[in-house]
Amino acid sequence: MVNRLIHSMRANNKFSRNLQFELFLVPVLLFYSSFVLIPMILSFIYSFTEISFQNVSYSFLGFENYKALMEDELVKASMGYTAIYTIGTTVLVTLAAIPLALVLDSKFPGRNTYRATFYFPSCVSAFVLGFVFQYLLSSDDNGFLNSILINVFHLEGIPFLGDIFWARLCSILVCVWFATGWNATIYLAYLQSIPEEYYEAAQIDGASMLQRIKYITLPMLTPAAKISIMTLLTGGLRVFDLPFALTRGGPANSMSSITQVLIVRGITEGKIGYACSLGIVFLLLILVITLIQTSAMSKLEEKVN
């Protein structure tokens, strides 16, 4: 009887301690429900209605909003640009970040200063960088780069932000400039966790530097690549600040991202139901791409290991 009483008291004390810890989750759950879960549910419901700032009725439209998306030229243009931007930035940043991490991992004087220098651009707001590069890449003759081309090299100015090809290319290159340092830091952290014994054994066996990178470094960087590529993909898909700061979506809507179209349709034009349908499609698109990328990288990681 005494043992049962002691056991019961211990169980009650354990329950009380666990309850104290779980109570700390209540604010988090309330915040998540209020700003994530409930808005997602309402967005899904509104996507089947014609609710807007002008019409507050909840008239059911079925899939009409989703059908209208297929005919919206602005949505099509934003899908195309977002895909180009996401693929371009992901590939170029990855190709630049890995060699940069290898260089920063080597021993040379002042390497910590160089690490901080390359990392610093990622600390600045993309909006701020966009406005800075808007001046540097201005298509006018008074733009910084064009003034150098015209006055110093006596060449014709380039419409960096006035031509569709050049504007898209510049937005990708600016992203590469400020995102490479952050992603190189991810690879650098994994590089420093690789045991030196691996390289020493490979060097004793006569492996060259390129062979050590190919058979030791790159396979060991697979987990870092998984994280880096996922952040680049999701960041590219939901990009808004940098292209908007550069050209406001121009020229001819060629740099309008999906997020910008969501804002235009939902807030500027007040088409809440229509914007919600685009948001649901966008969410599913990100979910599918993330699952594919995660599955592919997990299989590659298993193959390497």
Predicted pLDDT of residue 110: 82
**DSSP β-bridge partners for residue 60:** 49
Torsions phi, psi for 49 (to 5 deg): -125, 175
CA distance 159 to 179: 24
Cα three-residue angle 38-40-43, rounded to 5 degrees: 110
Per-position b or e across 164-198, b if 16+ CB within 10 A of its CB: eebbbebbbebbbebbbbbbbbbbbebbeeeeeee
Per-position b or e across 11-35, b if 16+ CB within 10 A of its CB: eeeeeeeeeeeeeeeeeeeeeeeee
DSSP state of 269: S
pLDDT, one tens digit per residue, over 195-219 is 888 888 888 888 888 888 888 888 8
48-304 is a CATH 1.10.3720.10 domain: yes
| Among 10-19, 58-67, 93-102, 223-232, the least confident range | 10-19
Average pLDDT over residues 184-197: 90
Q: Where are the beta strands (DSSP E) in 68-223?
A: none
**Of 111, 104, 69, 285, nearest in space to 180 by CA:** 104
**pLDDT tier for residue 2 given thresholds of 50, 70 and 90:** very low
The residue ranges of every structural domain in the chain are 48-304
| Among 1-15, 38-52, 102-116, the least confident range | 1-15
Predicted pLDDT of residue 24: 76
Q: What is the pTM of this model?
A: 0.88
* Helix 164-191 with 222-237: angle, nearest 10 deg: 150
- Is residue 9 predicted with pLDDT exceeding 60? no
- Is residue 160 predicted with pLDDT exceeding 50? yes
